[in-house]
């Protein structure tokens, strides 16, 4: 029955996507973030996401919407980064191993480019934001319920066989959407929706605590600090955060407190030092191949890791860092482009937020810029401890900032266009007047 419902709903979405490409993009985002086919049985393994992607791209081209494609700094950096990953793959130390991750990342970047181009207009924009929040928020609510049911004795995990299965990955993904939940709550007009989003926000915090992830807990602290610093009503915000987090922390078992207390003793923790070893190996691989690196995730290969550091290769595991994953996989050039993408998104959102007093700018745009900047900051901090560089969630936030920057720029165009038209009419009128005066003089 679950399979029939999923297939039937997917068929309806594909039918809508044939005429409206953005419907296909939303379905694509839903499958990417929530992976509903992973929870089914008979359709497990069926490439529904590939079919959805194919129909969406074909509809995007056939409908003529592709003619609206415009490069902006963020889109250009995404395309440039994807192009560099292709070059890095061509010089990969183990092409067979890195090809899997390379293909996955390229497909993700293609999807993100379409998000940046197609999320035009408030309705589409908010539909994509809701898709991100609802997809991750569902699992956050489920994780909070699991934490209550088990009295916090077990870790909250994501859906098996997905990028968010790991408790660390899941916790940081949930922390990343916390600002987006607050944004939608602020934008929602109906009290029932606002209360529902507030409940989701509280459950998301509990789910983060329930993951037992130190990295996710640090991301939660980063969110709290960033939000408190920029909030107008600081004491009210601080009281609200304490009201939610304090009972949840008190509810957790002693082993959770012991685990969190080791954050300050990272150098004595074998797990953390294993990550440091992996960071060193990725750095050394990049130093040996500064332009293209070793190829995505090739540092996981023991033989390749031993080629730069035999001792650390015995202890190292996954890099557990978006920065070192990109560095080791695509070299210093790839990391520079990747960091430039973050910087461009951060600065674009900051510029839009600073324009909040501009009467031509819709208030919701500056508000989203404020919360999107917060979301990126939380992920940038949390991402230093997890291998989530290929996760679509934070990349969709970057794409939304790109789409927003184009819309915010377009807000000023009508005024500038009218001014140019007025100037042109003035000069045309003046030229015509001279011509008339000249004809009059000649007649006289």
pLDDT, tens only, 206-254: 999 999 999 999 999 999 888 888 777 667 777 777 777 887 788 788 8
pLDDT of residue 5: 83
Judge if 409 and 343 occupy the same domain.
yes
Alpha carbon distance, N-terminus to C-terminus of the chain = 94
Asked whether residue 332 is assigned to any structural domain, the reply reads yes
Q: Return d(Cα 382, Cα 241) in angstroms, integer.
A: 19
Q: Please, is 278 exposed, middle or buried when counting C-beta atoms within 10 Å of its C-beta (0-12, 13-18, 19+)?
A: buried
> Where do we find the tokens 């010089």?
91
Comparing 409 with 427, which gets the higher pLDDT?
Answer: 409
> Of 3 and 128, which is predicted with more confidence?
128
Read off the pTM: 0.88
d(CA 378, CA 55): 34
Is 114 part of any domain?
A: yes
Mean pLDDT, rounded, of the chain: 87
* CA–CA gap between residue 235 and residue 77 (Å, rounded): 40
Is the Cβ–Cβ distance between 86 and 334 less than 8 Å? no
81 and 35 assigned to the same domain:
no
Query: Domain boundary at 68, 88, 108, which?
Result: 68
392 alpha-carbon distance from chain centroid: 6
Confidence of residue 132 (pLDDT cuts 50, 70, 90): very high
Q: Are residues 229 and 331 in the same domain?
A: yes
Residue 32: CB atoms within 10 A of its CB come to 24
Indicate the pLDDT class of residue 36, thresholds 50, 70 and 90.
confident
| DSSP conformational letter for 384 | G
* Residue that is written with structure tokens 């987006």 in the block: 180
Domain residues for the domain of 21 are 1-68
Answer for the pair 126, 22: CB distance below 8 angstroms, yes or no: no
Position 339 pLDDT exceeds 60: yes
Task: Count up the domains in the chain and report the number.
Answer: 2
CB 253 within 8 A of CB 259: no
Residues 207 and 354 in one domain: yes
pLDDT recorded at residue 417:
45
pLDDT class of 358 with cuts at 50, 70, 90:
confident
Same domain, residue pair 137 and 254: yes
Q: What is the mean pLDDT of residues 108-115?
A: 97
Predicted pLDDT of residue 411: 64
In sign, the C-alpha dihedral spanning 100, 101, 106, 109 is: positive
Q: Is the pLDDT of residue 421 over 60?
A: no
Mean pLDDT over residues 342-363, rounded?
Answer: 91
The answer to whether position 433 is within a domain reads no
| Same domain membership, residue 122 and residue 24 | no
Q: What φ, ψ does residue 309 adopt, rounded to 5°? A: -160, 100
Query: Which residue's entry shows tokens 């589409």?
Result: 124
What is the per-residue DSSP string for 196-226?
HHHHHHHHHHHHHHHTT-HHHHHHHHHHHHH
Q: Are both 44 and 95 inside the same structural domain?
A: no
Q: What is the pLDDT of residues 65-95, one digit of tens each?
A: 999 998 999 999 999 999 999 999 999 999 9
Q: DSSP class of residue 91?
A: T
Q: CA 318, 321, 322 angle in degrees (round to 5)?
A: 120
- With residue 395 as reference, give the H or E element that holds it: helix 392-443
């Amino acid at each position: 029955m679950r399979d029939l419902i999923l297939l039937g709903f997917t068929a309806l979405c594909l039918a809508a996507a044939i005429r409206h490409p953005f419907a296909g993009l939303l379905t694509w985002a839903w499958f990417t973030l929530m992976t509903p086919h992973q929870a089914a049985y008979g359709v497990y393994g069926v490439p529904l996401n590939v079919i959805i992607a194919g129909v969406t791209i074909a509809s995007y081209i056939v409908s003529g919407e592709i003619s609206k494609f415009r490069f902006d700094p963020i889109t250009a950096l995404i395309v440039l980064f994807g192009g560099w990953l292709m070059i890095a793959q061509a010089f990969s130390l183990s092409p067979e191993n890195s090809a899997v991750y390379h293909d996955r990342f390229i497909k993700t970047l293609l999807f993100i480019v379409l998000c940046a181009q197609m999320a035009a207009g408030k309705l589409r924009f908010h539909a994509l934001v809701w898709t991100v929040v609802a997809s991750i928020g569902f699992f956050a609510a489920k994780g909070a319920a699991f934490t209550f049911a088990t009295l916090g004795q077990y870790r909250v995990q994501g859906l098996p066989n997905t990028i968010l299965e790991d408790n660390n990955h899941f916790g940081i993904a949930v922390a990343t959407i916390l600002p987006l939940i607050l944004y939608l709550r602020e934008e929602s007009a109906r009290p029932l929706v606002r209360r529902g989003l507030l409940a989701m926000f509280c459950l998301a915090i509990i789910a983060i605590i329930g993951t037992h992830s130190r990295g996710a807990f640090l991301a939660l602290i980063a969110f709290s600090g960033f939000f408190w610093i920029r909030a107008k009503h600081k004491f009210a915000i601080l009281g609200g955060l304490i009201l939610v987090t304090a009972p949840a922390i008190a509810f957790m078992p002693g082993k959770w407190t012991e685990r969190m207390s080791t954050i300050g003793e990272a150098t004595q923790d074998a797990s953390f030092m294993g990550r440091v070893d992996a960071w060193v190996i990725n750095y050394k691989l990049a130093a040996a191949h500064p332009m293209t690196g070793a190829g995505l995730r090739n540092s996981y290969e023991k033989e390749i890791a031993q080629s730069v550091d035999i001792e650390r290769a015995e202890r190292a595991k996954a890099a557990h860092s978006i920065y070192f994953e990109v560095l080791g996989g695509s070299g210093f050039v790839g990391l520079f482009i990747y960091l430039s993408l973050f910087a461009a998104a951060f600065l674009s959102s900051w510029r839009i937020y600073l324009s909040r007093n501009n009467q031509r700018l819709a208030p919701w745009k500056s508000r989203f810029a404020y919360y999107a900047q917060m979301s990126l900051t939380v992920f940038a901090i949390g991402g230093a401890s997890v291998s989530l560089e290929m996760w679509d969630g934070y990349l969709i936030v970057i794409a939304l900032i790109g789409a927003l920057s184009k819309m915010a720029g377009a807000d000023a165009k009508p005024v500038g266009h009218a001014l140019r038209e007025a100037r042109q009419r003035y000069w045309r009128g003046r030229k015509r007047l001279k011509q008339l005066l000249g004809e009059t003089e000649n007649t006289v």
